[in-house]
Structure 1
């Protein structure tokens, strides 16, 4: 029995690793393509696309994390106690539910596009919002098939579909953008091309999953007939409430982007800024989103590898192991999230020039990228809580934070413009951070002592002083006019900042020798900076 449980836990950890690799690849690609896209279409074109992107981000989170995880959980439980026919009936029910959800979203965006565009303050966005409705029609196939494969411990189809979907989408978006810009199409038409690229990517993901399903003997005709029982409302409830809660963490940052899309541009215009200027200003503000996304991916991709171990230990009621793994996940999130956030803040000006061609609003972006630290901790702690069976608490905190974000925008944007929006994001994230840390502390107690935080802050201060000394003292001349030189300065800053940070922190007892062996890249860092004291 013990051997069977261990094998099951190992399969779960292996499967989670496959999905994590696919998720990291997809997220990195999703962040990186926006740099050449902004270079192609400029800040106004970037503003146009970023206004409608959050809807696609929501769809992606629902069909990648929220519903597949919940469907796989329900089907896996049914397989243990019910017949194959009953398991198939649950899959059909899930497909029916997801069809209703997908069509509901489609109707909302397709026929509510004009209203949403007016809410955003830019009626010209309506055709793009309407076009963004179509990927939601693919939600049932994407979610149900991924859930089915994951329930059978086969993570390859989900991972391959997710990775190919992003790759096709990125190639299509950049290809359409270059083509449309070359014929001098309007920026809103270029935006439509980018949205159509997202539709093409979603179709590619469906095709891959359908091929895998066909290999297992599935056809769409198998979903025609089934019965609905009174007890099935429990399944619908699980998919609606728990499924949404599971996906809320992955949707958090994109939901904040949606709050910005709904009112930042409108607030800028209503407070006297010209429409064209406001589009450029909002487009510059949107530069911060791929930077934050990249920083969060770097930090959480390391900490989230620990979460399957938390889940496996919790299922075996090994509470001490749960606490040990939760502590390690929190340490990684703090260390790498802190290094990424503070590092980005310090190199933001040359990085802004390197990636986006100029240094406009670098001070605002420096504030915005601090969100990397808060978001990294929140996502890691939320995942740990989910691994311990607590699915809803963090999700409700995020829901409340959306109202905080939207309201803070209303108060701060009229006075401080996009800097106010950046601060509003930090306020909303801080609220969620306090709530999830309180929840984790209630479950497992204090995980870290003051000495850990003191050593971490020492490393961050040391890195900051070194980078500022480099930029202000050693490079007093104007390097902002050269993109090549700014790129060189950025790369030098990354190397020096990262090396000094780990030199100051690594051997100071932040991790135990045992923890180093469990950290991705831990042994490499140990070889570079010495063994833990």
Structure 2
């Protein structure tokens, strides 16, 4: 039974990983034409308010559904599962209603805190999507708790497709008709609510009728607040850091001597980092959060060896993916920046920000493991400490060092969070996961990949100087260099046995890859 649940959950992890990749790809890609159409200032207007939407979307898409799926998975029969869903639904409605009223009436004060009162109608537009959060989160959580990941995956992709369409149509219409950046922002942010409606329509309805005998389940409200709230906060971690930036970066730039217009433009450049970080995080985070039911099942059945093996596999794969993505983005940042946004403004600032991919991946992976063990206090303390660093120093760093100061404070805050979680975790979560041999091999794979990519970049720039200034040529170069870099990393990882055969086999298409390498005589044995 345990193996069947594990296999089912691993397949579900793959489904959600694919859906998350598609959704995050859409979420990242649309920002390119969007920024190109509306410019840095228009991008600033949108990104200032986006974290509020991002928090609500994270709660409805991954935070609350994962918590609810944990509750559902612990209940044996369908009747009780739906009873749990009904009770959670009522509590989530109270939460969503409170947030809705707070944002609707508090929008002028929030906009003033961001240093731009013209953002008030944008905040109120985003607010409407919170009314759909109960339906989305409970419905998704119920299906995931029954090890059925397809409804969540389907609704996730549909939601992003609809939202991206609304945003790009609004941007194109605004550009053509000469709308102000703020009017454009209101219509672009309406895509969140429209998309949430579309997601509700494609999700299978769960039965919400009261049974004949309804036995209340005790402490659901408290668990939702403590466990669910903790999981949501950690899932929305990067968005919370972005929210701090919304209140401090533009204001810090103005305090440092920049004009209002220049500060808005610089904040728009700084926000280019967000889609790149999303792409770097997507596979590792989707894999980690999707394995939470399996970890819970192993913990509940008291199978410590299976739990430890699954945990170690998850952490190693997450770190490998995050490290390779971070190194690749940093190595190619000037080309990536110019290809996507038309120039290399802020390339160093963005490269520093990319370090957050590794830290955020490890934090969220550790959080998934701790959640499966009902560990909540540690993650809350760690996140609050990291946010305190960001909140306390961000304005000062931006005022004195510009946008790169905010990038370093994001990395610093995440590092503090990770250190606290790591030191506070059980010994088995700190030892035996990343052995010295694994760390050395990973560092060598990454270093050789970076060196190889940089040498190729240098060669291209020497042979074809125009490659340093043309967006089309940047694109051609990246299409060649990214696969080459990935091939270098993968070849070394296989040759040096960075992962065991069993760990490789948890990845999609790994069986065919390993057979190919075995035929070549590159690897053998277990």
Query: Structure 1 length normalisation: TM-score?
Result: 0.89
Q: Which moved more, 1:346-355 or 1:197-206?
A: 197-206
CA shift, 1:378, in A, is 1.8
Residue 104, structure 1, aligned to residue 113, structure 2: no
Q: How many residues align?
A: 518
Q: Which moved more, 1:170-179 or 1:484-493?
A: 484-493
**Residue 505 of structure 1 corresponds to which residue in structure 2?**
493
User: Which of 306, 311, 314 does residue 321 from structure 1 map onto?
Assistant: 306
Contact residue 331 and residue 454 of structure 2 kept, 8 A: yes
**Residue 196 of structure 2 corresponds to which residue in structure 1?**
202
Deviations 1:208-250 (A, max 9, x none): 33xx32xx665xxx57999997x74x11101111111222232
CA shift, 1:9, in A, is 4.7
User: Which of 70, 88, 108 does residue 67 from structure 2 map onto?
Assistant: 70
Query: Matches of 1:445 and 1:425 in 2, distance apart?
Result: 24
Query: Matches of 2:35 and 2:317 in 1, distance apart?
Result: 32
CA shift, 1:168, in A, is 0.8
* CA 1:53–1:384: 2 relative to 1, 3 Å: same
The aligned runs of 1:31-430 (5 Å cut-off) are: 31-77=28-74, 80=77, 84=79, 90-209=84-203, 212-213=204-205, 218=208, 222=209, 232=218, 234-301=219-286, 309-430=294-415
The aligned runs of 1:423-442 (5 Å cut-off) are: 423-442=408-427
* CA 1:469–1:22: 2 relative to 1, 3 Å: closer
* CA 1:251–1:113: 2 relative to 1, 3 Å: same
* CA 1:329–1:149: 2 relative to 1, 3 Å: closer
* CA 1:268–1:493: 2 relative to 1, 3 Å: same
Aligned-residue Cα RMSD (Å) equals: 2.7
* CA 1:23–1:298: 2 relative to 1, 3 Å: closer
Contact residue 92 and residue 226 of structure 1 kept, 8 A: no
Gaps of 5+ in 1: none
Look up the SS of the partner of 1:396 in the other structure: helix
Contact residue 401 and residue 432 of structure 1 kept, 8 A: yes
Q: Which moved more, 1:308-317 or 1:400-409?
A: 308-317
CA shift, 1:150, in A, is 3.6
* CA 1:462–1:223: 2 relative to 1, 3 Å: same
Deviations 1:124-178 (A, max 9, x none): 1111011111111112222233333344444433332222111111111111211
Q: Which moved more, 1:71-80 or 1:417-426?
A: 71-80
Query: Matches of 1:473 and 1:7 in 2, distance apart?
Result: 51
Deviations 1:8-41 (A, max 9, x none): 5554444454444433332222222212211221
Query: Matches of 1:93 and 1:308 in 2, distance apart?
Result: 20
Query: Matches of 1:87 and 1:497 in 2, distance apart?
Result: 47
Q: Which moved more, 1:306-315 or 1:320-329?
A: 306-315
Residue 450, structure 1, aligned to residue 444, structure 2: no
CA shift, 1:120, in A, is 0.6
* CA 1:345–1:445: 2 relative to 1, 3 Å: closer
**Residue 453 of structure 2 corresponds to which residue in structure 1?**
467
Query: Matches of 2:489 and 2:72 in 1, distance apart?
Result: 46
Q: Which moved more, 1:462-471 or 1:86-95?
A: 86-95
CA shift, 1:257, in A, is 0.7
Query: Matches of 1:267 and 1:335 in 2, distance apart?
Result: 35
Query: Matches of 1:445 and 1:140 in 2, distance apart?
Result: 37
Look up the SS of the partner of 2:332 in the other structure: helix
The aligned runs of 1:475-486 (5 Å cut-off) are: 475-476=461-462, 477-486=465-474
Query: Matches of 1:381 and 1:270 in 2, distance apart?
Result: 38
Query: Structure 2 length normalisation: TM-score?
Result: 0.90
Query: Matches of 1:305 and 1:139 in 2, distance apart?
Result: 20
CA shift, 1:427, in A, is 0.2
**Residue 531 of structure 1 corresponds to which residue in structure 2?**
523
Query: Matches of 1:67 and 1:475 in 2, distance apart?
Result: 48
**Residue 510 of structure 2 corresponds to which residue in structure 1?**
522
Look up the SS of the partner of 2:302 in the other structure: coil
Query: Matches of 2:306 and 2:497 in 1, distance apart?
Result: 20
User: Which of 496, 499, 503 does residue 484 from structure 2 map onto?
Assistant: 496
Q: Which moved more, 1:344-353 or 1:161-170?
A: 161-170
Contact residue 508 and residue 532 of structure 1 kept, 8 A: no
* CA 1:445–1:91: 2 relative to 1, 3 Å: closer
Query: Matches of 2:49 and 2:390 in 1, distance apart?
Result: 18
Deviations 1:232-274 (A, max 9, x none): 4x11101111111222232011111111111111111122101
Query: Matches of 1:346 and 1:76 in 2, distance apart?
Result: 43
Gaps of 5+ in 2: none
